[in-house]
């Protein structure tokens, strides 16, 4: 009976490690996080955790404004790589953010409070951005592209010998 309880506990512990959120993205469980909506208004001061891909970084004297193309979150806080996005948001961080590290195309997840929407331009197109004042963030490692090579299953190389230069001894 005790062994069974220990095994169930150990299994639960191991499975909980599979989808842990990084410590800088953890929020108080009592708080309800605001889901992303384009041009979010009337929710100022509410907590939110949003993610996406960095589109641009604008450094100012006391803060950095990161323009992020929103992507939905997975259970562990990583942005889900999809081809569709409902919009963009601005992540406002205190201090300087290095544009080389926070480069265009990197995945980012931010935790913070919703601020009033801001009207700006994307190129020459006017756009209303949702704004998030960041209290914690996680910059995810770049996604490595995997090269997919086609191998013909019916190809046979008559000169290929897996045992060259030594053949196994026959007995």
Q: Where are the beta strands (DSSP E) in the chain?
A: 47-59, 63-71, 88-94, 107-122, 125-139
Query: Do 25 and 73 contact (CB within 8 A), yes or no?
Result: no
What does the alpha-carbon distance between residue 58 and residue 91 come to, in Å, rounded to a whole number? Answer: 10
Judge whether 161 lies within some domain.
no
Judge whether 16 lies within some domain.
no
Judge whether 3 lies within some domain.
no
pLDDT in tens, the chain (171 residues): 677 656 666 665 555 555 566 665 665 555 677 888 776 777 888 898 899 999 999 999 999 999 999 999 887 778 888 888 899 999 999 999 999 999 999 999 999 999 999 999 988 999 999 999 999 898 988 867 677 777 777 777 777 777 777 766 666
Count structural domains, the chain: 1
Pairing of strands 125-139, 63-71: unpaired
Judge whether 147 lies within some domain.
no
The partner residues of 94 in beta bridges, in order of sequence, read 63
Range of the domain at 115: 28-139
Domain of 87, CATH number, reads 2.40.50.140
Query: Do 17 and 59 contact (CB within 8 A), yes or no?
Result: no
Judge whether 45 lies within some domain.
yes
Judge whether 166 lies within some domain.
no
Query: Do 115 and 132 contact (CB within 8 A), yes or no?
Result: yes
């Amino acid at each position: 009976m005790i062994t069974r309880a220990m095994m169930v506990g150990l299994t639960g512990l191991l499975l909980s490690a599979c989808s842990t959120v990084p410590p800088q993205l953890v929020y108080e469980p009592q708080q309800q996080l605001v889901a992303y909506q384009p041009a979010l208004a009337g929710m100022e001061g509410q907590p939110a955790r949003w993610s996406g891909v960095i589109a641009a970084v604008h450094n100012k004297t006391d803060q950095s404004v990161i323009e992020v193309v929103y992507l939905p979150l997975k259970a562990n806080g990583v942005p889900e790589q999809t081809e569709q996005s409902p919009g963009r948001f601005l992540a406002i961080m205190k201090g300087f953010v290095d544009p080389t590290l926070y480069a265009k195309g990197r995945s980012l997840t931010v935790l913070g409070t919703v601020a009033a929407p801001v009207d700006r331009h994307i190129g020459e197109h006017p756009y209303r951005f949702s704004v998030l004042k960041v209290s914690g963030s996680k910059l995810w490692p770049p996604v490595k592209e995997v090269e997919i090579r086609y191998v013909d299953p019916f190809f046979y190389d008559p000169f290929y010998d897996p045992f060259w230069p030594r053949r196994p001894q026959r007995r």
